[in-house]
């Protein structure tokens, strides 16, 4: 069993490689993690191309939803994107918040930060910045963000509870988040859970849907809403790398499911409430 630090290093290594790949290679695998599937062109990623602010150069095809589409961003908002990659969701958010707003992208991988900064510089986006950091300990001050978005990133983080605590800290009272992520219903086969490639590919690092939603509630958020949910079908030729033919059959006939969800929640607006436990 890998430690949290080993898993973080794995993610950093894999996503450094992904930063140098083209979109087609990334989308043909599971969140860009490995070899191409012969069955599908993309497994998880949704189509951004019709959204204002979309920049193809910043879209590496690594997401599992469209959180910015559901994030209720207003003109002048301060928006933070967790796991900002090459800048795709940041640039969509910039189109929503406008010149009067500010967008901050946070990413763990230096190669992604470099790519995102280059994309922003080319386009002259002076109100979009990218900071390298761990989203379990964000490099931003408290009560700064009106909106937080994230796309297929929290599943990669070993300590998801710490991330939700940080989201609570960083959001302004009354602020909210819209996060797309991968969750499970039922337990994955152990060989998938233990596969390093599947961890970096957003699947084996996912947790149970009910546990995920409970974490949000336990950390003091309110008005928790499931904005979108869709089943993720991982192709047989990827699964066969980890499962025998018999195991594959059992898995496909089971009630175990892998889902992409987009979840909305708000930080309470009561400024006297300092956290999830002090309002009781």
Q: Is-contact 51 92, C-beta < 8 A?
A: yes
Is the predicted pLDDT of residue 172 greater than 70, yes or no?
Answer: yes
- Name the domain count of the chain: 1
In a domain, 275, yes or no: no
Whole-angstrom distance, CA of residue 228 vs CA of residue 205: 20
pLDDT in tens, 182-231: 898 988 888 777 665 554 455 657 889 999 999 999 999 999 999 999 88
In a domain, 221, yes or no: yes
In a domain, 46, yes or no: yes
Is the predicted pLDDT of residue 262 greater than 90, yes or no?
Answer: yes
**Domain CATH number, residue 139:** 3.40.50.150
In a domain, 162, yes or no: yes
In a domain, 273, yes or no: no
Whole-angstrom distance, CA of residue 277 vs CA of residue 280: 6
In a domain, 55, yes or no: yes
pLDDT in tens, 8-39: 666 656 666 665 555 555 444 444 444 444 44
In a domain, 272, yes or no: no
Q: Is-contact 131 35, C-beta < 8 A?
A: no
Across the chain, mean pLDDT equals 82
In a domain, 187, yes or no: yes
Query: Does the reported pTM lie above 0.75?
Result: yes
- Given this model, what pLDDT does residue 251 score? 85
pLDDT in tens, 108-144: 889 899 999 999 999 999 999 999 999 999 999 999 9
Range of the domain at 151: 4-266
């Amino acid at each position: 069993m890998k430690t949290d630090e080993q898993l973080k290093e794995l993610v950093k290594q894999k996503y450094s490689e992904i930063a140098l790949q083209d979109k087609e290679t990334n989308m043909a695998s599971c969140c860009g993690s490995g070899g191409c599937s012969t069955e599908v062109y993309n497994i998880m990623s949704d189509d951004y191309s019709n959204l204002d602010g979309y920049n193809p150069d910043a879209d590496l095809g690594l997401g599992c939803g469209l959180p910015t589409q559901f994030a209720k961003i207003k003109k002048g908002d301060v928006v933070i994107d967790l796991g900002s990659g090459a800048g795709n969701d940041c640039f969509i958010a910039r189109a929503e918040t406008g010149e009067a707003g500010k967008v901050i992208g946070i990413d763990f991988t230096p190669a992604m930060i470099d790519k995102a900064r280059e994309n922003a510089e080319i386009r002259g986006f002076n109100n979009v910045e990218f900071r390298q950091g761990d989203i379990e300990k964000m490099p931003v001050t408290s009560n700064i963000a009106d909106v937080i978005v994230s796309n297929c990133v929290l599943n990669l983080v070993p300590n998801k509870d710490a991330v939700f605590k940080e989201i609570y800290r960083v959001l302004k009272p009354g602020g909210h988040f819209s996060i797309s992520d991968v969750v499970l219903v039922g337990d994955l086969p152990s060989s998938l859970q233990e596969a390093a490639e599947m961890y970096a590919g957003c699947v084996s690092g996912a947790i149970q849907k009910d546990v995920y939603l409970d974490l949000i509630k336990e950390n003091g958020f309110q008005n928790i809403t499931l904005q979108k949910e869709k089943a993720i079908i991982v192709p047989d030729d990827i699964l066969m790398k980890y499962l025998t033919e018999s195991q594959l059959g059992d898995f496909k006939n089971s009630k175990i499911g892998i889902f992409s969800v987009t979840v909305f929640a708000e930080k309470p607006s009561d400024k006297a409430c300092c956290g999830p436990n002090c309002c009781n």
